[in-house]
């Protein structure tokens, strides 16, 4: 009896002794972070993680303990150490937990060796040359339709929500590439169940990691919002079957996995379940990220009439039926894309990695094995020592012709990471750039002279952060004066 009562007490003492002797106590940070991750959890659940961590960096410096076994890192050397190829830092189990669909895929794999083999297999179809040769035509056609729908909506109703249309566009491109057929959401013009699930998958995943019991119960409740948040991945996995059947079909519905089977014969194999898992994560990783970044491109440019005029002027040099290679030559437009990715890239939050077996030392502080270290682009991209006047939107800093102090230095390029860094850098980076460039060019050219609608205010565009960012009001309306 006495023993039973003593056990919890002993556990508390043991916990306190362990906490007091933890080598991470030497890492600066709020006292509470030694004992609890609750403030961090609260920030995640309320969509404020990037701000919470950034504020802690501002107060405590480049290395800050944010939870009992988690350290946020905003130091350039340490960034290189964590994300360098062959660094030995593996992705944290947080990714698998967030996606929560059983078998691991390229996005969630922790083991660096297993990941490298899968990544080799997937890299070719996502290379710039392969994308241009096989899929540019799809992206181009979807971009043109999206812009034409935006124009029609402005004519019909007085304004158009670009976030909605970019979401349809990016989703159509993703479904075409991964499934082998588009869902034609641009033609339908309505937020379908599929789109709602796509929009909720990462948000629900992020919240679900923090509140696993709520996720477990939520999955079983008959409410739409619960199903959208916590059954989204299962629902999307259902669609992923299409990718498998189209990959094998002789109906001409080819997808990015089609040629992979020939590659697979040379070594690494993909079975049907792997294709479903990869399809699901590529669809989720490739849709919202692109549409949100594009929305902020429009917002950033239309907020600055002089910049808008110069961008529109540059676009007059384009031939009518331009392609990605033509747009890639436009200095100002590409600078706008980079500057938007710096300040409003869709995935600026913490990318958690695990300290390898030997432990590591950063800024003279020892971090033991198993510590979670996270770097967030949000903080690096706002560091005044790296990007002069970091909060100012200055596309010119990316232009080769620019000689002034804003020009992006090599040191800045080393920590500029809107697509992550190292071996785990975004697989879809070339597809993303292709869509961002072509859609921004088509929009600013074919909708020249548009303005932000009164509903598109700084407050409405404030970034909320549930793994990705999104405008607080989940829309960005534009109009014709």
- Residues binding ligand HEM (CB under 6 A): 106-107, 119, 281-282, 285-286, 289-290, 293, 345-347, 351, 418-420, 424, 426-428, 431-432
Q: State how far the alpha carbon of 290 is from the alpha carbons of 63, 195, 449, in Å.
A: 30, 14, 24
Given the complex with ligand HEM, which of 160 and 347 has the nearer CB atom?
347
The DSSP H or E segment spanning 333 is: helix 331-344
67 exposure class (CB count in 10 Å sphere: 0-12, 13-18, 19+) = buried
Partners of 161 in beta bridges: 477
Q: How far is the CB of 438 from ligand HEM (least distance, A)?
A: 13
Q: How far is the CB of 91 from ligand HEM (least distance, A)?
A: 6
**How far apart, in whole angstroms, are the C-alpha atoms of residue 305 and residue 452?**
10
Q: How far is the CB of 119 from ligand HEM (least distance, A)?
A: 5
Given the complex with ligand HEM, which of 380 and 419 has the nearer CB atom?
419
Q: How far is the CB of 417 from ligand HEM (least distance, A)?
A: 7
Q: How far is the CB of 418 from ligand HEM (least distance, A)?
A: 5
What residue number has its CB nearest to ligand HEM?
Answer: 428
Partners of 366 in beta bridges: 361
Q: How far is the CB of 69 from ligand HEM (least distance, A)?
A: 18
What number of other Cβ atoms are within 10 A of residue 264's Cβ?
15
**How far apart, in whole angstroms, are the C-alpha atoms of residue 118 and residue 112?**
10
Partners of 477 in beta bridges: 161
**How far apart, in whole angstroms, are the C-alpha atoms of residue 172 and residue 183?**
6
Given the complex with ligand HEM, which of 94 and 218 has the nearer CB atom?
94
**How far apart, in whole angstroms, are the C-alpha atoms of residue 373 and residue 384?**
23
Partners of 478 in beta bridges: 160, 452
Q: State how far the alpha carbon of 310 is from the alpha carbons of 6, 315, 331, 372, 395, in Å.
A: 74, 9, 11, 45, 12
Given the complex with ligand HEM, which of 119 and 215 has the nearer CB atom?
119
Q: State how far the alpha carbon of 79 is from the alpha carbons of 64, 66, 73, 240, in Å.
A: 14, 17, 7, 35
443 is in an annotated binding site: no
Given the complex with ligand HEM, which of 293 and 360 has the nearer CB atom?
293
Per DSSP, the three-state class of 479 is: strand
Given the complex with ligand HEM, which of 130 and 407 has the nearer CB atom?
130
Measured CA angle at 76 (ends 74, 77), to 5 deg: 120
Q: How far is the CB of 324 from ligand HEM (least distance, A)?
A: 14
Given the complex with ligand HEM, which of 43 and 337 has the nearer CB atom?
337
Residues 95-132 as b or e (16 or more Cβ within 10 Å = b): bbbbbbbeebbbbbbbebeebeebbebbeebbebeebb
Give the up-direction half-sphere exposure of residue 183: CA atoms within 13 A in the CB hemisphere. Answer: 24
Q: State how far the alpha carbon of 291 is from the alpha carbons of 74, 153, 245, in Å.
A: 27, 18, 28
Given the complex with ligand HEM, which of 159 and 185 has the nearer CB atom?
185
- How do beta strands 90-91 and 350-354 pair? antiparallel
- Copy the structure tokens of residue 170: 């990016």
Q: How far is the CB of 377 from ligand HEM (least distance, A)?
A: 7
Given the complex with ligand HEM, which of 195 and 432 has the nearer CB atom?
432
Q: How far is the CB of 462 from ligand HEM (least distance, A)?
A: 18
| Binding-site residue set for heme | 426
């Amino acid at each position: 009896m006495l023993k039973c009562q003593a056990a919890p007490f002993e556990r508390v003492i043991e916990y306190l002794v362990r906490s007091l002797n933890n080598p991470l106590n030497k890492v600066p940070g709020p006292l509470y972070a030694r004992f609890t991750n609750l403030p961090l959890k609260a920030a995640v659940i309320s969509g404020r993680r990037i701000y919470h961590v950034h504020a802690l960096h501002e107060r405590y410096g480049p290395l800050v303990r944010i939870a009992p076994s988690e350290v946020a890192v905003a130091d350039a050397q340490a960034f290189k150490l964590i994300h360098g190829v062959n660094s030995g830092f593996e992705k944290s189990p947080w990714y698998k937990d967030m996606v929560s669909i059983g078998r691991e895929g390229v996005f969630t794999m922790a083991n660096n060796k297993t990941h490298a083999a899968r990544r080799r297999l997937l890299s070719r179809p996502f290379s710039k040359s392969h994308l241009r040769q096989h899929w540019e035509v799809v992206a181009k056609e979807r971009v043109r339709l999206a812009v034409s729908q935006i124009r029609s909506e402005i004519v019909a109703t007085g304004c158009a929500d670009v976030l909605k249309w970019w979401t349809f566009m990016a989703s159509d491109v993703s479904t075409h590439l991964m499934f082998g057929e588009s869902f034609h959401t641009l033609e339908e013009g309505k937020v379908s169940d599929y789109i709602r699930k796509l929009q909720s998958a990462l948000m629900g995943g992020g919240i679900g990691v923090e509140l696993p019991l709520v996720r477990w119960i939520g999955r079983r409740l008959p409410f739409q919002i619960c199903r959208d948040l916590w059954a989204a991945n299962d629902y999307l996995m259902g669609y992923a079957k299409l990718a498998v059947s189209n990959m094998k079909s002789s109906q001409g519905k080819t997808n990015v996995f089609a040629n992979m089977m020939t590659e697979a014969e040379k070594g690494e194999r993909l079975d049907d379940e792997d294709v479903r898992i990869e399809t699901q994560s590529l669809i989720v990783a490739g849709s919202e990220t692109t549409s949100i970044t594009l929305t902020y491109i429009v917002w950033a440019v239309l907020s600055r009439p002089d910049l808008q005029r110069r961008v529109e002027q540059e676009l007059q040099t384009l031939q009518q039926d331009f392609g990605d290679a033509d747009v890639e030559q436009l200095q100002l437009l590409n600078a706008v894309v980079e500057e938007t990715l710096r300040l409003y890239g869709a995935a600026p939050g913490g990318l958690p990695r695990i300290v390898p077996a030997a432990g590591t030392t950063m800024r003279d502080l020892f971090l033991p094995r198993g510590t979670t270290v996270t770097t967030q682009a949000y903080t690096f991209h706002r560091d005044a020592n790296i990007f002069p006047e970091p909060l100012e939107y200055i596309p010119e800093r990316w232009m080769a012709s620019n000689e002034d102090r804003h020009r992006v230095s090599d040191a800045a390029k080393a920590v500029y990471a809107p697509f992550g860094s190292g071996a785990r850098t975004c697989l879809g980076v070339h597809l993303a750039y292709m869509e961002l460039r072509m859609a921004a060019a088509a929009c600013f050219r074919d909708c020249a002279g548009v303005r932000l609608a009164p509903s598109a205010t700084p407050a409405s565009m404030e970034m909320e952060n549930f793994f990705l960012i999104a405008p607080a009001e989940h829309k960005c309306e534009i109009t014709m004066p």
